[in-house]
Amino acid sequence: MSSVVLKRHSVLPGFGLTVGYTLLYLSLIVLLPLSTLAFKSSSLGFDAFWTTVSSARVVASYKLTFGASLAAATINAFFGLIVAWVLARYTFPGRRLVDAIVDLPFALPTAVAGIALTTLYSENGWLGAPLARMGVKVAFTPLGITLALTFIGLPFVVRTLQPVIDELDPELEEAAASLGASRAQTLFRVVLPALLPAWLTGFALAFARCLGEYGSVVFIAGNMPMRTEITPLLIITKLEQYDYPGATAIAVVMLVASFVLLLGINLLQSWSGRRLAA
């Protein structure tokens, strides 16, 4: 009796050719431009490099950029889950409009978003004026920077979670309730574990987007050194001063720090996925 070996059919070319195209594309679009950062900054020498990236003004911009980005991504992780759940599980008048509004930060030029937020939250703005009377200043403060980054990062969390919630079978929640589980137990033992990998992915995407944001922040930040100056603005400032090695040195630090943080989040996501599979 002869055995027949079935070969899996693929609509794309073979593995070697496809991987070759993939590596070539990534090298030209991602790796080659990023390698020029390290090459250009290496012209400084280690002492000059360290002096540039560890100056008080630069360190202050690191703290503000990473702190505001982390705060914005955390806020979006919480409220983005709620928005994604509502859009995926409920039908209500205007649902399509709300769904479209979520994508506005994708389509809206970031500079326009920055001007709009500054106008709204300045001390004489529609929202800024009543907040100022309560002693809360938003524009030209770290709070305003966090607000702008929250605006930019929301779609990444919502669009990552929404399809996963769509695929989450409501019968699992009904089964948990029929077995006597409370709403809190169902949420923390059934729903959130199933959403955790996608949730972490959305958080990581929002965080990474916030780290590199410039247009929506530069107007509302005020750009005061040591107080409201973000790292991307500092890089632009050095480029305008023709200090290309200094600008690339700061960019290299941002790149390495971002890569390490995102790698950690991806490892955590992979671990949580394996734990759920087990």
Task: Write down the architecture of domain 40-277 according to CATH.
Answer: Orthogonal Bundle (1.10)
Confidence grade of residue 121 (pLDDT, cut at 50, 70, 90): very high
| pTM as predicted | 0.86
Confidence grade of residue 5 (pLDDT, cut at 50, 70, 90): very low
Confidence grade of residue 23 (pLDDT, cut at 50, 70, 90): confident
Confidence grade of residue 11 (pLDDT, cut at 50, 70, 90): low
pLDDT value for 10: 63
Q: Does pLDDT of 275 surpass 80?
A: no
Q: Does pLDDT of 40 surpass 70?
A: yes
User: Using one digit for the tens of pLDDT, what is the confidence trace for 69-98?
Assistant: 999 999 999 999 999 999 999 999 999 999
User: Using one digit for the tens of pLDDT, what is the confidence trace for 164-180?
Assistant: 999 988 888 888 888 88
Confidence grade of residue 2 (pLDDT, cut at 50, 70, 90): very low
H/E/C letters for each residue in the chain?
Answer: CCCCCCCCCCCCCCHHHHHHHHHHHHHHHHHHHHHHHHHHHHHHCHHHHHHHHCCHHHHHHHHHHHHHHHHHHHHHHHHHHHHHHHHHHCCCCCHHHHHHHHCHHHHCCHHHHHHHHHHHHCCCCCCHHHHHHCCCCCCCCHHHHHHHHHHHHHHHHHHHHHHHHHHCCHHHHHHHHHCCCCHHHHHHHHHHHHHHHHHHHHHHHHHHHHHCCCHHHHHHHCCCCCCCCCHHHHHHHHHHCCCHHHHHHHHHHHHHHHHHHHHHHHHHHHHHHHHHHC
